[in-house]
Structure 1
Amino acid sequence: MRTVRAFRGMTRAGTRSVLIYRGDLLTGAVTLVIQVVLAIAVWRIVYSGRGPVDGIDAGTAVAYAAIAACLQSVLLPWQFSTLPMRIRNGQIAADLTRPLGLMWQVLGQNLGVLIGRFPLGAIGLAAAALLGALTVPPGVGPTVLAIVATAGGIVVALLCNLIVSMVTFWTFEVSGPLIVYRFGSSFLSGSLIPLWFMPDWLRGAVEWLPFQAQVYTPVSIYLGQTRGGAALALVAVQLVWVAVLVVVLQLVWQRARHRVVVQGG
């Protein structure tokens, strides 16, 4: 129970670290609304005067673009982990002595940041709804499965974010790798371009990566483009990636803990 309470404490701290900066929240909300409006406008222009493309009509493509932008903004904030800062300023030394393991501390904080950004995603979805860009799921089953897939995507994103942030143990400065990861993840997750419209060779490669489990899987299920056994298979892939990423995280942590060098305080 003490471990659970400690994890909840880290989660609350992460949430408060987001909500306390109201100016940043306002700026983030405005930025996301602009991004959603532009995404809707672009896809409506692309489909102007056209029928369905590869079986995807204009309404589905526009709804996908809007929802994916909101989901990606929640899952991948610019500062998604405090681990690099803790390593650089020497706080890692104190963190390693806490009863709650370092990985759980960071995961709790990252989860709190994600929860704190939920209002931004809600604002973006509200803007999309006002513009008539959202569609209703095809039924109760797809809605429930989409919720499960969204939870799976959140777990995959948290694990990927943590693994990438652990590069700091080797480099101390990870601004470059984080930027590459952010933009790479945005593309490979299907946030910028749905997997439907990717060439077969590229889509086949992307489906072997964990990123599509973060955005493409829940959104495609929600919109009814992936149904039945295919939808269940995508959720199963999420579970497989969660297991794989947990193993990778443990291996990286075993190597990283031997490279701890305390700087600063």
Structure 2
Amino acid sequence: MRIENEGLKPCFSNRIKNKFKDGKVYVSFFKIRFNCGIQYRAAALAGIITQFIWGLMQILLYRAFYSSSPEAFPMGLAQLSSYFWLQQAFMNLFMTWFLDADIIESITSGGIAYELCRPLDLYNMWYIKSLSSRFSKTAIRCLPILVVASIFPKPYNLSMITSLNLTVTFLISMTLGFGVVVAFSMLIYVITFFTLSPIGIRIVALSLMEFLSGGIIPIPFLPESIQKIVELLPFASMQNTPFRIYSGNIKGMEILFSIILQAFWLMLLIILGKYLMKRAVNNAVVQGG
């Protein structure tokens, strides 16, 4: 029995070492993509100006409706202003229409063969690349929008959180929502394996994500019968949940339920994505030499 245990120790230690090495490789992928993303400063400046103007236009548009009967709306104008400013500041984290062109190209062109030669989990590698691409764009754009929006006069400004518990809750929800967006995007990449062209699935999936996640109209403004269904879907666990927590539209036990729902969808989408990825890779056929 003693000999068997001694034989298992090197095996276990090797697994730990391999996992550690894989982790370092994934960190390297993240750094490479992040450094590439922050190089385009002129594009970032143009994006900041565009997002700031667009956010202001949205607020002024809704203000016109609020001026007639503000009590008829499910969110106060101050809450809605915070929602829209957060939407613009963190647009690159939660933008549902963004897909990594390099990943799509590698699938449709056959370049996936080179990816499969690497001794790494393909799903994890693409997931890290997607995280980094979105995070790098957000890192150089969000702060100027948040600062300027916070000094606007009420109720058109970004209100500040005064509670530490609410701040922590908001950051947890942001992290989970970000993970759900990337996990759903991974499903689109994987489904591309099974289609002749990625255009159809991209148009359908991205249109659904944009509308049902609250990207066009905040979910509370939908009819109540539809809203109850939409809030249970994975799309509502993206930008909708953290932004409404920040603005104070979600409170009490509803916050806890929303975060649990986010964690549920994140795990489910990752498990489903890994399963479909395994099937796709096993059945993949790459033409050419």
Equivalent pair of 1:89/1:264 in contact (CA under 8 Å): no
Equivalent pair of 2:92/2:134 in contact (CA under 8 Å): no
Q: Of 19, 39, 56, which residue of structure 1 is paired with 2:38? A: 19
Q: Does 1:107 align with 2:130?
A: no
The correspondence of residues 57-206 of structure 1 with structure 2, limited to 5 A, is 57-76=76-95, 78-81=97-100, 82-118=102-138, 119-132=140-153, 133-137=157-161, 139-206=163-230
Q: Report Cα offsets for 1:208-243 as digits up to 9, x if no partner.
A: 210111111111111222122110110000111112
3-state DSSP of counterpart to 2:32: helix
Q: How far did residue 19 of structure 1 move?
A: 1.9
Q: How far did residue 55 of structure 1 move?
A: 5.1
3-state DSSP of counterpart to 2:31: helix
Q: How far did residue 127 of structure 1 move?
A: 4.0
Q: Of the two, which has the highest radius of gyration?
A: 2
The correspondence of residues 45-64 of structure 1 with structure 2, limited to 5 A, is 45-54=64-73, 56-64=75-83
Q: Of 219, 233, 241, which residue of structure 1 is paired with 2:265? A: 241
Structure 1 pair 78–196 and aligned structure 2 pair: CA distance change class (3 A): closer
Q: Which has the higher contact order (CA 8 A, sep 6+)?
A: 1
Residue segments in structure 1 that go unaligned for 5+ positions in a row: none
Taking the aligned partners of 2:254 and 2:73, their CA distance within structure 1 comes to: 18
TM-score scaled to structure 1, two decimals? 0.90
TM-score scaled to structure 2, two decimals? 0.83
Report the residue type matching 1:177 in the other structure: I
Q: How far did residue 29 of structure 1 move?
A: 2.5
Taking the aligned partners of 1:113 and 1:264, their CA distance within structure 2 comes to: 30
Q: How far did residue 40 of structure 1 move?
A: 1.8
Q: Report Cα offsets for 1:128-156 as digits up to 9, x if no partner.
A: 33434211225221111011100110111
Match of 1:42 in 2: 61
Taking the aligned partners of 2:74 and 2:41, their CA distance within structure 1 comes to: 43
Match of 1:227 in 2: 251
Structure 1 pair 68–53 and aligned structure 2 pair: CA distance change class (3 A): farther
Q: How far did residue 182 of structure 1 move?
A: 2.7
3-state DSSP of counterpart to 2:75: coil
Taking the aligned partners of 2:77 and 2:279, their CA distance within structure 1 comes to: 48
Moved more, 183-192 or 108-117: 183-192
Taking the aligned partners of 1:96 and 1:4, their CA distance within structure 2 comes to: 18
Q: How far did residue 32 of structure 1 move?
A: 1.6
How many residues are aligned here? 265
Taking the aligned partners of 1:41 and 1:73, their CA distance within structure 2 comes to: 23
Between the aligned residues of both structures, percent identity stands at: 25
Q: Report Cα offsets for 1:21-73 as digits up to 9, x if no partner.
A: 33433333233223212112212222124333345321112221221233343
Equivalent pair of 1:14/1:108 in contact (CA under 8 Å): no
Q: Report Cα offsets for 1:62-97 as digits up to 9, x if no partner.
A: 221221233343222654323211113332111112
Q: How far did residue 113 of structure 1 move?
A: 0.6
Structure 1 pair 21–117 and aligned structure 2 pair: CA distance change class (3 A): same
